[in-house]
Chain A
Amino acid sequence: AAAAAASFDLRGYWTTLLPQIESQLDAALPVRFPERIFEAMRYSVLAGGGKRAPPIMCIAACELVGGDRSAAFPTACALEMIHAASLVHDDLPCFDAAPLRRGRPSTHARFGVDMAVLAGDALFPLAFSHVVARTPRDLVPPATVLRALAEIARAVGSTGMAAGQFLDLTGAAAAGEADVVAVLEKKFGEMAECSAVCGGILGGAGEEEAEGLRRYGRAVGVLYELVDDILMADAGSNGKMRSNARAVAALGMERAMEMVGELQGKAKRELQRFGDKYGDRVLPLYSFVDYAVERGFVVEAG
C-alpha cells in the first residue's frame, strides 16, 4: 500500500470535497432574527476557512467501507460545527484567552464573551439537528443515525474533549509522558477518532471495523497535534499556541520525534486489515497519515 499511497492524490481528493463542505456549511447557517447570534455562529464556522480535516476523514472512512459519500456528508459537516464550537469555547478569556484564531479575531474578541458562549452553545445542537434533518433516510437507517449521534456526544463530553480541556487547564500536561499523552488524546485525538468512527458507522462498517477506525482516528489526531507542536518548537515560535500542553517541551524533542514514528506506524497498522479487504479504497486514509507528518501541501477553503 505504501507505494500506491505515495501516488495517491490526497490533495486532489481534499480540494474536490472542500467546496462542497463549505457550501453545505454556508447553507446550514442562514442569518435570521436575532441576527447577532447567527452572525457569530457563521463567523466561528466559516470565517477564515479552515482545513476541514474532520469532515474529510469522516467521508474517507465512509467511502473506505463502501458507503456512499452522501450518507456521511451531513455528519461530516456537523463535525465541523462541533469542532468550531469547541474552539470558540477554548478561546474564551477564562481558558486560553486567545485573541486570534486562524489569523482573525476570535469569536469573543469580535462579538463579545457572552455571544461567544452562546454561539458555542447553539452550534452543538445545530450539529445534531443537521445530522437528523439532512442524513438521507434511504441510505442510513434511524438506528445507525443514533449510533453516530451518540458517538459525537461521547466525543465532546465530560470524558472526551471537555475532559481534555480541563486537564490541559489544570496543567496535567506539565507532568509526565502519560499525562501529556492523555491531554493530546482527549483534546485532539477525540475529534479525529469520532470523525473516523462516524464515517465508518454511516458507511455500514461492522463493529470490529468501527473499532479499528476508532484506534486509527485517535492515533492520527494525536499525531497531527504532536507534529504541530514539533514544527512550532522547530520554528522557535510561540505565536500560534494551540494548546497549553506544549508536548515537545514536556517530552523532549527526541522522544517527541520517536512518538511520531510510533503513531504513524500504529495508524497504518490499523489500516492493514482494511487494505486486505478493500484494496485501494484505503488510500485516502493511508495517505492522511503521511500528510499529518509531512504537511506536503497547504489546504485552505476559498
Chain B
Amino acid sequence: ASAAAPSAVEFNFKGYMLQKAAAVNQALDAVVPLVYPERIHEAMRYSLLGGGKRVRPVLCLAACEIVGGRERQAMPPATALEMIHTMSLIHDDLPCMDNDDLRRGQPTNHCVFGEPLAVLAGDALLALAFGRLADPASYPADDPVPPARVVRAVGELSHCIGAEGLVAGQVVDMESTGLGIPVGLDRLEFIHLHKTAALLEASVVIGAIVGGGSDNQIERLRRYARCVGLLFQVVDDILDVTKSSQELGKTAGKDLASDKTTYPKLMGLEKSREFAEELLKDAKDQLSEFDPIKAAPLLHLADYIAHRQK
C-alpha cells in the first residue's frame, strides 16, 4: 500500500467520481427513453435516475480501465449493473418484502406508482439490463468488444444475481429477520457476500472481462471486489447505528428496530471498525500488482467506501 501512496496523493478522486457518474447518468438517461407505454418507463426512470452514487457502474468502468480497456467499452455493462441494482432495491422495498417507503430520500417506487407497476418496472429493468449487456449494438462500432467476452460477461452477471447470488442473500436475510435471536457471524457474512458483495463483484469482474483482462487479473479483481463488498455492508451497519435518517436519506436505526443482525450488534462498534480496516487492507493488497496510476481509481474507491459518511 505504501508504494501506491505517492500517486494516491496526486489522484483527484472526487473529480474522477463526478466525471464518471455524469457519464453514467447520461448513458442511463438515454437507455430508458419515455416510449409507449409511458407509465412503465416513467416508473423505471423514477428509480433509475433518482440519484445514487453509481458505485457499481464506476467500479465496472474502473475495472475495465485498470486492465487496459476503454470507458466506452464498459458503459453498456456499467448501465446494466445500475439497472440490476435499482431493480433489486425496487423489489426489496415492496410491501411483501421490506415494506420501505423511503429510499435515497424519496418515496419508494411502489409508493409513487403502486405495487403492480413497481413489480413490472423491476422486471423490465432486469430484462433491459441483459438486453443492453448482450446486444452488440450497445457497444462502440469503432472499438468493439469481442462477442466471446460479452457472452462470458452475461454468464457472470446471471450467476451473481440469481438464486446462487443476490437472490440467495435476500432470501437468507428474509429468513433471518424477526426470529428474535441473532444469527451467527457465518450467516451474516453469507447474507452480505450474496446480497451486497455479489453485485459489486459482478461489476468489477465484468468490467475486467470486457476490458480484456487476463484470468489472473480477473481473479485478483474478484477478490478485491469481495472485500470491498463486505466492507460496504460493514460500513452500512456502522452508519445505521451512528447516523440519523436525515443524514442517510433512508430510515436510520431500522436494523436495530427490526431486530436485524448487524456487525455492530454481533461484535460491537469498535471491533466492527477494526474488521472494516482489515477488509480495506485486503482489498488494496489485490491491486498491488497493477500499474499504480491505473490502480488509483479502484484504490480510492475502496477508501471511499470505507470512509463514507452516508
- Please tell me which one of the listed residues A41, A115, A118, A162 contacts residue B127 in the complex, with CB atoms under 8 A apart: A162
Query: Is B101 interfacial (CB 8 A cutoff)?
Result: no
Q: Could you tell me the dominant secondary structure of chain B's interface residues?
A: helix
Selecting from A12-20, A69-77, A122-130, A235-243, the interface stretch reads: A122-130
When C-beta atoms are compared, the residue in chain B nearest to A155 turns out to be B127
Query: Is B73 interfacial (CB 8 A cutoff)?
Result: no
Q: Mark A108-146, 1 if CB is under 8 A from B, else 0.
A: 000011110110111011101100110000000111011
Interface size on B, residues (CB 8 A): 55
Please determine whether A36 and B126 come into contact, CB atoms closer than 8 angstroms.
no
Please determine whether A166 and B134 come into contact, CB atoms closer than 8 angstroms.
no
Measured CB to CB, the closest approach of chain A to B260, in angstroms, equals: 15
Alpha-carbon distance A143/B151, docked complex (angstroms): 8
> A94-B116, A115-B171, A142-B150 given as contacts; is B40 within 8 A of A153 (CB)?
no
Query: Is A165 interfacial (CB 8 A cutoff)?
Result: yes
Please determine whether B130 and A153 come into contact, CB atoms closer than 8 angstroms.
yes
List which B88-115 residues lie within 8 A (CB) of chain A.
Answer: 88, 91, 94, 96-97, 114-115
> A34-B171, A114-B97, A128-B130 given as contacts; is B135 within 8 A of A158 (CB)?
no
Alpha-carbon distance A89/B127, docked complex (angstroms): 14
- Please tell me which one of the listed residues A86, A158, A167 contacts residue B41 in the complex, with CB atoms under 8 A apart: A158
Tell me which residues across on chain B come within 8 A of A165, comparing CB atoms: 120
Please determine whether A117 and B40 come into contact, CB atoms closer than 8 angstroms.
no
Alpha-carbon distance A109/B151, docked complex (angstroms): 36
Alpha-carbon distance A154/B155, docked complex (angstroms): 18
- Please tell me which one of the listed residues A133, A143, A153, A157 contacts residue B155 in the complex, with CB atoms under 8 A apart: A133
Query: Is A24 interfacial (CB 8 A cutoff)?
Result: no
> A117-B97, A143-B136 given as contacts; is B163 within 8 A of A122 (CB)?
yes
- Please tell me which one of the listed residues A38, A128, A143 contacts residue B158 in the complex, with CB atoms under 8 A apart: A128
- Please tell me which one of the listed residues B123, B130, B135 contacts residue A120 in the complex, with CB atoms under 8 A apart: B123
Alpha-carbon distance A157/B36, docked complex (angstroms): 12
- Please tell me which one of the listed residues B40, B119, B135, B154 contacts residue A128 in the complex, with CB atoms under 8 A apart: B154
Please determine whether A146 and B147 come into contact, CB atoms closer than 8 angstroms.
yes
Alpha-carbon distance A36/B176, docked complex (angstroms): 13
Measured CB to CB, the closest approach of chain A to B72, in angstroms, equals: 18
Query: Is B79 interfacial (CB 8 A cutoff)?
Result: no
Interface centre among B36, B167, B174 (most CB of A within 10 A): B167
Please count the residue pairs between chain A and chain B whose beta carbons lie under 8 angstroms apart in the complex. Answer: 153
Alpha-carbon distance A47/B87, docked complex (angstroms): 27
Please determine whether B170 and A118 come into contact, CB atoms closer than 8 angstroms.
yes
Tell me which residues across on chain A come within 8 A of B131, comparing CB atoms: 150, 153-154, 157
Query: Is A149 interfacial (CB 8 A cutoff)?
Result: yes
Alpha-carbon distance A283/B139, docked complex (angstroms): 39
Alpha-carbon distance A129/B119, docked complex (angstroms): 22
Please determine whether A156 and B123 come into contact, CB atoms closer than 8 angstroms.
yes
Measured CB to CB, the closest approach of chain A to B111, in angstroms, equals: 14
Measured CB to CB, the closest approach of chain A to B186, in angstroms, equals: 12
Alpha-carbon distance A300/B87, docked complex (angstroms): 35
- Please tell me which one of the listed residues B124, B152, B163, B175 contacts residue A38 in the complex, with CB atoms under 8 A apart: B163
Alpha-carbon distance A155/B130, docked complex (angstroms): 11
Interface centre among B97, B152, B174 (most CB of A within 10 A): B174
Which of under 10, 10 to 19, 20 to 34, or 35 or more describes the interface residues of A?
35 or more
Tell me which residues across on chain B come within 8 A of A86, comparing CB atoms: 123
List which A61-98 residues lie within 8 A (CB) of chain B.
Answer: 86, 89, 92, 94-95
Tell me which residues across on chain B come within 8 A of A115, comparing CB atoms: 171
Measured CB to CB, the closest approach of chain B to A172, in angstroms, equals: 9
Query: Is B37 interfacial (CB 8 A cutoff)?
Result: yes
Query: Is B128 interfacial (CB 8 A cutoff)?
Result: yes
Alpha-carbon distance A33/B169, docked complex (angstroms): 10
Please determine whether B151 and A145 come into contact, CB atoms closer than 8 angstroms.
yes
Tell me which residues across on chain B come within 8 A of A1, comparing CB atoms: none
Please determine whether B163 and A41 come into contact, CB atoms closer than 8 angstroms.
yes
Q: Mark A180-220, 1 if CB is under 8 A from B, else 0.
A: 00000000000000000000000000000000000000000
> A36-B175, A162-B120 given as contacts; is B168 within 8 A of A141 (CB)?
no
Q: List 25 contacting pairs A-B, 8 Å CB cutoff, sorted by A.
A: A34-B175, A92-B119, A94-B114, A95-B119, A113-B96, A115-B171, A121-B87, A121-B88, A122-B163, A122-B167, A124-B127, A125-B130, A125-B162, A126-B158, A128-B157, A128-B158, A129-B154, A129-B158, A133-B155, A142-B147, A145-B151, A150-B131, A157-B128, A158-B128, A160-B127
Besides A156-B123, A157-B127, 13 more A-B contacts (Cβ < 8 Å) are A94-B114, A118-B170, A120-B123, A121-B123, A124-B130, A128-B155, A129-B162, A143-B136, A153-B129, A159-B35, A159-B36, A166-B37, A169-B116
The chain A residues found within 8 Å of chain B, CB to CB, are 32-34, 36-38, 41, 86, 89, 92, 94-95, 112-115, 117-118, 120-122, 124-126, 128-129, 132-133, 141-143, 145-147, 149-150, 152-154, 156-160, 162-163, 165-167, 169-170
The chain B residues found within 8 Å of chain A, CB to CB, are 32, 35-37, 39-41, 44, 87-88, 91, 94, 96-97, 114-117, 119-124, 126-131, 134-136, 146-148, 150-152, 154-155, 157-159, 161-164, 167-168, 170-172, 174-175
